[in-house]
């Protein structure tokens, strides 16, 4: 899937929006009408029903990527931001102190922001060390 910067201005064709919206509606309706298998616990059934109700109520938010090219199709970017923290915990077992965890997260956040702003990571880190951090860019629209 293309990144946000690559998708800017790329609209999903109207026929495809209609097709995907109709498919979404059909799948949610099928889920709401389906009977759960007999071996599924009642709690799981009620959680599934709640999810289906939310998907129905929040259809506009779930399908926002179809109408707004700035909205990514998936949340891989957010998952990627967290992956390094989990990897660090897996390798080290834990952070030695709360302060080291905070520092690690602060640096990872800064690196992630530099990448999202398409700045060079090393140049951004060097600038931060010299007292010239990245400026905040606000999105229009």
Q: What would the pLDDT profile of 78-112 be if each residue is shown by its tens digit?
A: 677 777 777 777 777 777 788 888 888 888 888 88
pLDDT at 54 > cutoff 90: yes
Q: Mean pLDDT across the stretch 44-61?
A: 93
pLDDT of residue 137: 61
Q: What is the pLDDT of residue 120?
A: 87
Residue 1 has pLDDT above 60, yes or no: no
Instruction: Report residue 7's pLDDT band, with 50, 70 and 90 as the boundaries.
Output: very low
Cα diameter, the chain: 64
Higher-confidence position of 9 and 56: 56
Distance CA 68, CA 31 (A): 27
The whole-number average pLDDT for the span 41-60 is: 92
Buried b (16+ CB within 10 A) or exposed e, 27-55: ebeeeeeeeeeeeeeeeeeeeeeeebeeb
What integer best gives the mean pLDDT of the chain? Answer: 82
Q: What does the pLDDT average to over 56-83? A: 83
């Amino acid at each position: 899937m293309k990144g946000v910067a690559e998708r800017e201005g790329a609209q999903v064709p109207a026929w495809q929006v209609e097709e995907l919206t109709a498919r979404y509606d059909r799948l949610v309706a099928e889920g709401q009408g389906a009977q759960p298998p007999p071996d599924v616990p009642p709690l799981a059934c009620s959680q599934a029903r709640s999810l289906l109700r939310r998907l129905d109520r929040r259809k506009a938010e779930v399908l926002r990527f179809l109408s707004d090219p700035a909205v990514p199709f998936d949340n891989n970017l957010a998952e990627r931001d967290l992956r390094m923290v989990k990897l660090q915990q897996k390798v080290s077992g834990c952070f030695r102190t709360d302060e080291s965890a905070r520092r690690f997260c602060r640096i990872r956040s800064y690196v992630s922001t530099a990448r999202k702003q398409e700045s060079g990571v090393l140049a951004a880190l060097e600038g931060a060390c010299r007292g010239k951090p990245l400026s905040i860019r606000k999105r229009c629209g």
